A and B are shown apart, each in its own frame.
Chain A
Amino acid sequence: MRKWSAHLKKWFAEVSDIPEDVVLGSPRLTLIGQFRLSIENYRGVLAFSKTELKLAMNKGELHIAGDDFVLETILEREIVLQGRVDDVRFVDE
């Protein structure tokens, strides 16, 4: 049933020209240069340190590695990270 609704949402996104992140709630990452990364549609902060940020997503986790990390803003759906971003990786579990 759930799979079916996900399919419908995907189909709707394709047909209606509305971006997938709005319809599906899939993450949207905006990286400005190497120093500012904003992530929308995340679930929660799992771990945060100077060199690493682990986020829980709808499906799986997002690991970000770098240096001098500062969590500039945390809102319910959006998070803004500042610092040098070296690596962005989706991890399925």
Chain B
Amino acid sequence: MRHTIQRAEGYLKAEIIGDDPEKFIRLCVSEHVKIWHIVRKNETTLICFIELTNSNTLKRRLKDTNCRIHILEKEGFPFLLKKIKLRLGIVAGLLFFLMLLLILSNMVWSINIKGADSKLEEHIRSILKQNHLYEGSLDLFVPDTSKLENALSTKLTKVTWIGVSREGTTYRINVVQKKYPKPKEVTGPRNLVATKQAVIQRLFVETGQPVVENDQFVKPGQVLVSGIIGNEKSSRFVSAKGTVIGETWYRSEAQIPLLSRYTTYSGADYHKYQLKLWNLRVPLWGFDKEPFKHYDRETLRKPIRFLIWQTPFVWIQENDRQKRIATRKLTVNQAIADAVESSDKKLLDSLPKESKIINTAVDYKKVVKNSVYIRTHQVVHENIAAARAIDVKKEEKKLKAKNEE
């Protein structure tokens, strides 16, 4: 109907009953009360639509014109509002239901972890929980999948590869666990041979016949502890065991800048939460645009879903972390000490455990373009013994030939 579209305010459909209902209409028109679609029903009655006004003024008008009113219908916004008020429970329930559906649509329903044993799975779940990801958590607060992957791979050492993906309300985590090959042990008869060129310092032999002495110079591959024991007439093969500490030498180079700039996080951060609708950003929390002078910004965007659809709303979480830019100035001596330390550390990382640097000597130093360049050599005490199997048949033949001679 035409009037429902045109009128937001309320109106009545009513019968005006009286001897002269036209009088009522004249009065309404003169008082600028809107009245329309008038139909004559019978001698005394007119049916019309009349704008909703104060009921007292309406009564006065009726009294003045000796008319009665019989209301047929009540329409328009004020009556709608009244109806809604009557059904407030239903409306609230509906809204609550929609809210619930919205929340449930943005919830993490399950986390599938594939390829991990139960112990690792539990560990992964505990790490995920620290990153706000668990069954029943809101997806809005869960970081990006790439960030999750980073967090997992830095904390898990037993894992070669980890992949995190999201499918709707399910997170899938694929894990490839490291499988170490079982260390091959030479269990049969074996010798201990030198791995490096060195000067023997100490010998600790559990089984076998040492064939080198202290302060002897050995070349790589040279037998240190023999697995053949006994004399020439009756010999036995054993698995030689022990450690041989040898003195070795290394050369290394290092370069350290005298002036270096580096940035550190001060620990202060600023969180911002925003709701984006198309291009409009509505800040919900955190209204500072530039909270710090120097900062790194992390942004997390999560489109809000409703059942299977994506709503135009996007949840944006920004984390500004304060940065401090500092410069470090070193004197030449400090720089050399630093360089020596770093070269020692680098060397020790490449050597077997329990190696010791006995002495570090700086052979050469130079200051080039604000950085110190040094060349050093280090004297190291380390285990140089490595097991090598004895070819028993060959050795027996050799021994036989020797005996026959």
Answer whether A and B are interacting partners.
Answer: yes
Interface of A toward B, CB cutoff 8 Å: 44-50, 69-76
Can you pick out 25 interface pairs between chain A and chain B where the beta carbons lie within 8 Å of each other? A44-B26, A44-B29, A45-B22, A45-B25, A45-B29, A46-B22, A48-B22, A48-B38, A48-B40, A48-B46, A50-B39, A50-B40, A69-B40, A71-B25, A71-B37, A71-B38, A71-B39, A71-B48, A74-B25, A74-B29, A74-B35, A74-B36, A74-B38, A75-B29, A76-B29
19 further A-B contacts with Cβ under 8 Å, apart from A44-B26, A71-B25, A71-B48, are: A44-B29, A45-B25, A45-B26, A45-B29, A48-B22, A48-B25, A48-B40, A49-B40, A50-B39, A69-B39, A69-B40, A70-B37, A71-B37, A71-B38, A72-B36, A72-B37, A74-B38, A76-B29, A76-B32
B30 within 8 A of partner (CB): yes
**Chain A residues whose CB sits within 8 angstroms of the CB of B28 once the complex forms:** 74
Residue of A nearest to B26 (CB): A44
Q: How far is the CA of A47 from the CA of B32 in the complex (A)?
A: 20
- Cβ of B316 to closest chain A Cβ, rounded Å: 52
Docked complex Cα distance between A78 and B80 (Å): 31
Residues B29 and A70 in contact, CB atoms below 8 Å apart: no
Interchain Cβ contacts within 8 Å, total number: 40
Residue of B28, B29, B46 with highest tally of chain A CB at under 10 A: B29
B residues bordering A, Cβ < 8 Å? 22, 25-26, 28-30, 32, 35-40, 46, 48
List, in ascending order, chain A residues with CB within 8 A of B30's CB: 76
Residues of chain A with a CB closer than 8 A to B48's CB:
71
Q: How near does chain A come to B7, taking the closest CB pair, in angstroms?
A: 13
> Can you name the residue of chain A whose Cβ is closest to the Cβ of B23?
A45
Chain A residues with Cβ under 8 A from B36's Cβ?
Answer: 71-74
Q: Which 10 pairs across A and B sit closest by C-beta, in order of nearness?
A: A71-B38, A49-B40, A50-B40, A45-B22, A44-B26, A70-B39, A73-B36, A74-B29, A74-B35, A48-B22
Residues on B with C-beta less than 8 A from A45 are 22, 25-26, 29
The interface residues of chain A lying within 8 Å CB-to-CB of B37 are 70-72
Closest to B31 in A: A76
What is the CA–CA distance of A47 and B36 in the complex, to the nearest angstrom? 16
Residue of A nearest to B25 (CB): A45
Residues of B within 8 A of A69 (CB): 39-40
Shortest beta-carbon distance from B137 to chain A in Å: 61
Write the nearest CB–CB distance from B357 to chain A, whole angstroms: 105
Tell me, rounded to whole Å, the shortest Cβ–Cβ distance linking B274 to chain A: 50
A50 to B47, CA, bound (A): 11
* Residues of chain B lying within 8 A (CB to CB) of residue A71: 25, 36-39, 48
Residues of B within 8 A of A46 (CB): 22
Residues of A with C-beta under 8 A to B25: 45, 48, 71, 74
B22 partner residues in chain A, CB cutoff 8 A:
45-48
Which of A48, A69, A76 lies at the interface centre, i.e. has the most chain B CB atoms within 10 A of its CB? A48
Residues of chain A within 8 A (CB-CB) of B40 are: 48-50, 69
Return the chain A residue nearest B38 by Cβ.
Answer: A71
Bound form: Cα–Cα A82–B396 in Å: 130
A40 CB to closest chain B CB, in angstroms?
A: 14
In the complex, how many angstroms separate the beta carbon of A85 from the nearest chain B beta carbon?
A: 16
